[in-house]
Amino acid sequence: MIIHCDFKPVELYYSLHELVRLAFPGCQIIQEKGGHHATVVHISMETLEKLAVIRGAVFSPEGNTILREEYNFRRSEAETDDEARWFARRFTYQLLCQHIDKNINSYGLLTGVRPVKLVHRFLDRGLSKRDIADILQDDYMLNQEKAALLLEVAENNRPFLLTPEKAKKMVSIYIGIPFCPSRCYYCSFPGAVLKDYDSEIKPFLQALYIEMNRMADCLQEQDISIQSVYIGGGTPTVLSAKDLEEMLDLLNSRYISHRTQEITVEAGRPDTLDPGKLKILKQAGVDRICVNPQSMNDSTLKLIGRNHNQEGVVRSIEWVREAGIRQINMDLIVGLPGEKLPENTSTADEILKLGPENVTVHTLSFKRGSEMAAVEGKDEIDDRVREVQTGVEYFSCKLREAGYMPYYMYRQKYMKAGMENTGYTLPGQECLYNIQMIEERQTIIGMGGGAASKFINTADWKLTSSYNPKDPAAYCESIEKLIKRKVDKLWALN
């Protein structure tokens, strides 16, 4: 479907186009007036002294027309730009809902990845929960259920946010190992499917060690300590026991101190774990492991290209427990091919029997570049996503009944059916890294393939980012440039 967008001033496009995409999922947007053969969205806004006037119209090829006009008196000159943008978004949202004749997004105007951040900003200003719920529903147009979820998550993770003084002197680190034993059906991660260990892993690790040493120098010069470590990927446990040990030795000698509270290793594929590697992880201080089954149904696991079955997951969890590692997270995906409520029910039952401290419930999303997108196409995946809402609600009820609570959540752009990815925890077992990374109140230094770094200015919680390439060869080639960029950004904060 083609949608012509005619926005004046044209800068409004950046604030409004995502709302148009929510109203017309999968549409192609063309930034011009257009003719009678396509749907046309007109928005024009004029700002005069303290008054903003906005007019809008939607014309459909069938001849339906919706018109709308509003005036807004701005409260202060200082807020002019932000306020005008918010006014335009709210107006456009209402216009599009009127045209479609239903709510286009259960998160209302919140189209970003981290909606809980807004709740924390209101809490910082001393607003009560009731006031925030009203603002979310009346001004940002969230439905009641989503507003309540955001408040609940914020309340559960707020005790773990650092004060500006502490956040200045304590960061978390991420290490990305961008290799996997094979590519999962739904994954678009363009890291490498490991073919030859020596020629691929060895140069990557050499570059990683250079980066780890140089960033450690920089942190030490600024007297900054490490609160939490997350080793992700890819699949870090694809590394041999010897290489895993070497990397963890370097981590311990350069980063870990008595102030470090958590070290997580993602063993995404249960088939990459064994008791020998778990012993090494435990001895190196790793205290949280992610064993990610995605589903506990063997036919689904086969279909999505995982090299393990349910039995393998159960065995890995037993090994992790035997190794004495204190926390286990298990990731699930709702909406995998062939899965409906009965499959979700069996996965929930099997997972709960294993008693992981954390469970993360993801909703399937369309990922360009995945085999699933190529084989099934966007529409087929979107159709399936409609069933996902039921599955997500089911997991939420089951986990809450079993004593888990939601403590971090994030969304992906244009997520369907008003969904989200939610991390659940048993009380007292929250993952610090996930909270700090999602709420963006602490600097994260990302090293390795595909690692994102975020540099947080504690004066206003604004951030700048820096990204390492996901492709291992590109990472190795640009290592000096990547380090310099991060060192400069870190010094700029202090």
Q: What's the CA gap between 300 and 356, in Å, rounded?
A: 21
DSSP 351-369: HHHH--SEEEEEE----TT
Least distance to ligand SF4, CB of residue 363, Å: 14
Residue 187 sits in the site that holds ligand SF4 (CB under 6 A): yes
Least distance to ligand SF4, CB of residue 289, Å: 14
Residue from 434, 480, 401, 453 nearest 207 by CA: 480
Residue 309 sits in the site that holds ligand SF4 (CB under 6 A): no
Which is closer to ligand SF4, CB of 90 or CB of 269? Answer: 269
**β-pairing, 421-425 with 444-448?**
unpaired
65 near 58, Cβ under 8 Å?
yes
DSSP 165-207: HHHHHEEEEEEEE-EESS--TT----SEEPS-HHHHHHHHHHH
Site string for ligand SF4, 257-286 (x = CB under 6 A): -----------xx-----------------
Which is closer to ligand SF4, CB of 115 or CB of 232? Answer: 232
- Segment lying near ligand SF4 (by CB under 6 A), choices 41-49, 199-207, 230-238, 356-364: 230-238
Least distance to ligand SF4, CB of residue 305, Å: 8
Both structure tokens of 202: 């060895």
Residue 304 sits in the site that holds ligand SF4 (CB under 6 A): no
Residue 183 sits in the site that holds ligand SF4 (CB under 6 A): yes
Residue 370 sits in the site that holds ligand SF4 (CB under 6 A): no
How many residues bind to ligand SF4 according to rule CB under 6 A? 10
Q: How far from chain centre, in Å, is Cα 474?
A: 24
Q: Which of 91, 140, 160, 189 binds ligand SF4 (CB under 6 A)?
A: 189
**β-pairing, 327-334 with 288-290?**
parallel
Residue 234 sits in the site that holds ligand SF4 (CB under 6 A): yes
Residue from 492, 494, 482 nearest 207 by CA: 482
Least distance to ligand SF4, CB of residue 490, Å: 28
Name the residue with tokens 């749907």. Answer: 39
Which is closer to ligand SF4, CB of 36 or CB of 195? Answer: 195
Neighbours of 25 (CB within 10 A): 15
Q: Which of 58, 170, 177, 180 binds ligand SF4 (CB under 6 A)?
A: 180
Residue 300 sits in the site that holds ligand SF4 (CB under 6 A): no
- Segment lying near ligand SF4 (by CB under 6 A), choices 55-63, 180-188, 211-219, 394-402: 180-188
Buried b (16+ CB within 10 A) or exposed e, 422-444: bbbbbeebbbbbbbbbbbbbbbb
- Segment lying near ligand SF4 (by CB under 6 A), choices 142-150, 178-186, 222-230, 445-453: 178-186
Q: N- to C-terminal Cα distance for the chain?
A: 49
Given the rule CB under 6 A, which residues bind ligand SF4? Answer: 180, 183-184, 187, 189, 233-235, 268-269
